[in-house]
A and B are shown apart, each in its own frame.
Chain A
Amino acid sequence: MTEPAALKLKDMLKKKRILSSGHRMCAGCAAPTIVKLMGMALRGPTIVCEVTGCLEVATTIYPYTAWELPWIHVAFENAAAVASGAIEAIEVMREKGRWSKEHVDVIAIGGDGGTFDIGFGAISGMLERGHDIVYMCYDNGAYQNTGIQRSGGTFPGQETTTSWAGKVSPGKEQRKKPLAEIVAAHRTPYVATVDPYHHRDFITKFRKALEVEGPAFIHAFSPCPRGWRSQTGKSMEIAKLAVEVGLHPLYEIFNGTEYKMSGPSRRLKELRPLDDYWKTQGQFKHLFKPEWADFKKGSKNRSMLTGSF
């Protein structure tokens, strides 16, 4: 039996919880909210394969676990490969009469470090082979777990402990890898960007990702108060702002070719100034110094679609 996604508040309250309280994620971190929203989209039996990262270490401190789903972590760069093995094994064991469930959804989760960078080869392989897996990246813009180092998902101008804002550097000087587009270029059946503020959009897209045959990819924007030096109560607002300034536009890509802007981004008449976003976070505060005025000018050419500039 396929359970419906929970889009209304009263249905959300009834939907089975997948992540218990009492985990050790930081106050204000959006990642547990993202996991809970993922839970609202589930349609039945599900297995989660996760990479090493904040969410992994802070939810499974032995002998405790916050996960109420079958869950496995092996290493930093291989959730896509672990998930490939799991889904294929389940399929073949079902054929052989050794797996009782009619269907099991396999979800792989990685942070931006595990997805944009070290795990990318495994993800590309998973996409090319076409396993029926949903891969979700919760993107908090840096290696937050190891102490806020820059990743391929870090924005230009973002200060991290390996892209310091200094006398001659405005923080990270390179652009953010356009990950959703790269994933889509594999002719992936379904790719979507989401954020936890626009929760109905999130749940609807995650459900589509589960229902599509073959691989699907969800790129979730995940504010990180500790790394971003933002207020713990502002994470949802910051997620909304990221969409409004065009750094994390919401869209879907079908079969790698058909792009569709999602409501919250489509309805924007114009993008809000980046300053509105930057001023919410200590990691961008150096950008308000006069010496980086030219750097900020360059950011005006930001792409509506990819969030890059």
Chain B
Amino acid sequence: MTAVKRVPKDQITIEGLTGDAAIAHALKQCDLDVLAAYPITPQTIIVEDYQKFAANGEVHCRVIPVESEHSAMSACIGASAVGARVATASASAGLALMWEILYCAASMRMPIVFAVANRALSAPINIHNDWSDSYGARDSGFIQIYTQSCQEAYDTTIMAFKIAEDHKVLLPIMVCIDGFILSHNVERVEMLPTEAVENFLGVREPFIKLDPDNPITMGPLALTDYYFEFKEQQDKAMDAVPDVFAQVEAEFEKMTGRKYGMFEEYKTDDAEIIIFTHSTPGGTAKATVDVLREKGEKVGVLRLRMFRPFPTKEITEAVKNAKAVIVFEKCRSFGAPSNPLALELRTALYDLEKRPMVVDFVIGLGGRDCPPTTIVEGYEKTKEYLKKGRAPLYETLGVRK
């Protein structure tokens, strides 16, 4: 691996790609050893495209067409355990079927890259977007990064390997795109030359592996006397993510001129109200804010990218001077006082002496459209709540009641 240099413009390939195709192209350039996956909408194109690359000899990788997502994650662990660079992709029910093994992948410290095309969970069965699937896995020990554009999905997938495989981290990572809204939407994507990606990533150097010359036991039984220490180490690994993430992004920026951060701040400097969301609603919110700004409203957007680990300190710093933060999130945590994204934010802000009001809107479940009017409705309600001085813990928007 040589030092990373800026890739000249004439070496960039520009194509119109869906979010799925962008991830497939990124995976193609990351010199995977094993990809194990099972078909599920709206992720399937990732694996279909990758299989086509394999069929044409464009990748040197073993694709394992497993019989279930449970086996997909299991095969990824087996491959990762012998030192391979490994990826998989899934969504919704498929992610749910992997559930048990997600925790194993994280605790066994396997740096697996997992592309998730976020989709609602059954029942009723629904193929469209919300975040219930990966939000549900928020305690599994995976790093989670949510992306807004096809370019960002491509870039993040490449960076994901370098973050996950870093010996200070060694954790699996989810790269999330909104099902259909991004997975099936064509956008302009600038692709790096493969040599640049390979140079950027290098070859995976496993910290430990299953090796006949140095036999070790992986995945033992650990009871009351040691289990907790495993979890303590896992927690420390998660703590190490932001620094490694920043280093990887800095290097990526040198190569491409692009960086994203743990979150994106859009017109927040003087904002009295900040919209807090991620993935494609982040884009909708920014477009809405442009219009509101023209009308003289002091509003901005904080678009989260890294949900796990949650950048608590940085987000607190970024929103602490606002009068209100409006959360738009595509998940209902049934029975909870509010919902995953707002819960994290409220925890982060709790210790401030003067806190912004947090207003939580559940939107877009099962792919229900979230047009700018939904954002405006939430914004107007928030202004009312500010006048009243209090807001409900959460409410749903855009649903027949």
Contacts and interface: CB of A to CB of B under 8 A. Distances in A.
Interface in A49-63: 49, 56-57, 60-63
Interface in A104-125: 104, 121-122, 124-125
Contacts of A62: 220-223, 226
B211 A70 contact: yes
Contacts of B33: 89, 92-93, 96
A67 B215 contact: yes
B24 interface: no
Contacts of A85: 34, 36, 64, 74-81, 84, 86
Interface in A69-86: 69-75, 77-78, 80-86
Contacts of A274: none
B83 A72 contact: no
Interface string A26-46: 000000000000000000111
B221 A70 contact: no
A49 B78 contact: yes
Interface residues of B, number: 46
A95 interface: yes
A4 B226 CA distance: 40
A121 B223 CA distance: 29
A125 B67 contact: yes
Contact of A82 (B78, B83, B213): B78
B108 A46 contact: no
Contacts of B75: 81-82, 84-85, 88
B78 A73 contact: no
A83 B78 contact: yes
Given A77-B70, A121-B67, A82 B77 contact: yes
A86 B212 contact: no
Nearest to A24: B221
Interface string A284-309: 00000000000000000000000000
Contacts of B100: 75
A105 to B, nearest CB: 9
Given A61-B223, A67-B215, A96-B33, A90 B70 contact: no
Nearest to A18: B215
Contacts of A80: 71
A74 B219 contact: yes
B82 interface: yes
A99 B210 CA distance: 11
Given A56-B221, A81-B78, A86-B79, A74 B108 contact: yes
A73 B218 CA distance: 6
Contacts of A124: 67
A65 interface: yes
Nearest to A47: B210
A195 B223 CA distance: 32
A93 B83 contact: yes
A122 B79 contact: no
Contacts of B220: 60-62, 65, 73
B212 A65 contact: no
A60 to B, nearest CB: 4
Contacts of A104: 212
Which among A60, A81, A99 has the highest number of chain B CB atoms within 10 Å? A81
B70 A125 contact: no
B318 interface: no
Interface of B: 33-34, 36, 60-62, 64-68, 70-72, 74-84, 86, 100-101, 104, 108, 203, 210-223, 226
8 contacts: A57-B221, A72-B218, A73-B219, A74-B78, A74-B101, A75-B74, A89-B62, A125-B71
Which 10 residue pairs are nearest across A and B when measured between Cβ atoms?
A85-B78, A125-B67, A85-B75, A45-B212, A81-B71, A89-B79, A89-B84, A81-B74, A85-B79, A82-B78
